[in-house]
Amino acid sequence: MGSPVPPRSRIGGGALLALGIVIGAVGSATGGYVATRSTTPVDPAGAATATARPVTVISAPASDVVVDVVNELLPTVVTVINRLPNGQAQSSGSGFVLDAVRGYLVTNNHVVENVRDTNAGASFDVIFSDNRVVKGAKLIGRDDKTDIAVLQVPPDGLRAATLANSDDVPVGSTVVAIGSALGELQNTVTTGIVSAKGRRVPETDTVVLEDLIQTDAAINEGNSGGPLIWAATKKVIGMNTLVNRQAGSEGLGFSISSNTVRDISNELIKSGKIERGAIGIAYTLLTPRAAAALGLPAQTQGVIVGQVLAGSAAAQAGLRANDVVTKINDQQIDGSHPISSILLHTRPGDKVKITIIRDGKQQSVDVTLGRQS
């Protein structure tokens, strides 16, 4: 097949090129970085998977923690094949079983997206570590803001991974990543450490992923959606998603924290979508020049309200045009912490305290959030 232009490349090229970020689903190459889609995606009927062999469980010495992790967790890891309406495989990635009783799997949203747009693929096949193939997995829901998607397969002979509390894992902990590297190399295992926590990385020009775990475990194309496992507990602390391949950088992989995976997947299973809270304002980032024009110190950070939408939460709370919004709850608003990111984990009906500057005076306004359209 040809070299389709992936939506993450087209939409987010600026952000991705700036960081040299690779989204870890198999992908076509464009420009100076590797994109998210493959010109030769894995096909269950093709040679790529026909040559893959089930992994034999081998007893390991008590000291070989990584082997123990692989023996226990490998059966929970899957390959996801994303197909076009004509049945052609357009991309592939990884995933893992979240709920063995109900048959729920989790993967990245960008694994289940179309190559040329942000719609979902037409159908999905799931390949297990023993080469068992389940065709026609059901897409339960997906969320582009956190890059998480949930699929469902018949709950026959499944084994689920356990999500840890990602806040508990110490920096420096040994971790294991499992996935389908390059789309063809199923059951690939790499190891490393937790390099840092709480990272924010732009995935596209409009999506910034929050609360990421940074690791030096090798994450390659095709690993998207696979688990990052805390070796000491044999529990999943993250979903592998991005890798930085900027010139001169090594060992900069990023995983969505298991706490985010848990919260978003539970809501997708319950509702099929994520509804987030909205204030109901149009705004622009406050610049030093704009601050000076309003008689404020040049270092003042926030946004200027340009319009308050009629009937919105902001209108009901009494916000006005030309108000300067500086904080939501205790979070400062600035270029690194935009309103959209701050509201990421809010829901309609949540109450927030908004700090504003009006006519040079600071005050607080309580706002009950509405629903994002």
In whole angstroms, give the CA distance from residue 185 to residue 82. Answer: 17
**Would you state the structure tokens that stand for residue 358, as one six-digit string?**
């009006």
- Catalytic annotation on 330? no
In whole angstroms, give the CA distance from residue 135 to residue 243. Answer: 29
**Would you state the structure tokens that stand for residue 121, as one six-digit string?**
């693929």
- CA 243 distance to own-chain centroid: 12
Alpha helix locations (H) across 75-115? 109-112
Q: Is 90 left (phi over 0), alpha (psi -120 to 50) or beta?
A: alpha
Give the residue from 315, 320, 304 showing the smallest Cα distance to 367: 315
How many C-beta atoms lie closer than 10 Å to residue 360's C-beta?
Answer: 9
Decide: 96 and 78 in contact? Cβ < 8 Å.
yes
Give the residue from 171, 179, 193, 151 showing the smallest Cα distance to 239: 179
Q: Catalytic: which of 144, 147, 211, 323? A: 147
Alpha helix locations (H) across the chain? 7-19, 47-50, 65-73, 109-112, 258-271, 288-293, 313-317, 339-342
Q: Catalytic: which of 28, 92, 110, 211? A: 110
Q: What is the DSSP string of 283-324?
A: EEEPPHHHHHHTT--TT--SEEEEEE-TTSHHHHHT--TT-E
- Catalytic annotation on 345? no
Residues 117, 122, 123: CA angle, nearest 5 degrees: 135
Q: Catalytic: which of 28, 166, 224, 255? A: 224
Which residues does the annotation mark as catalytic? 110, 147, 224
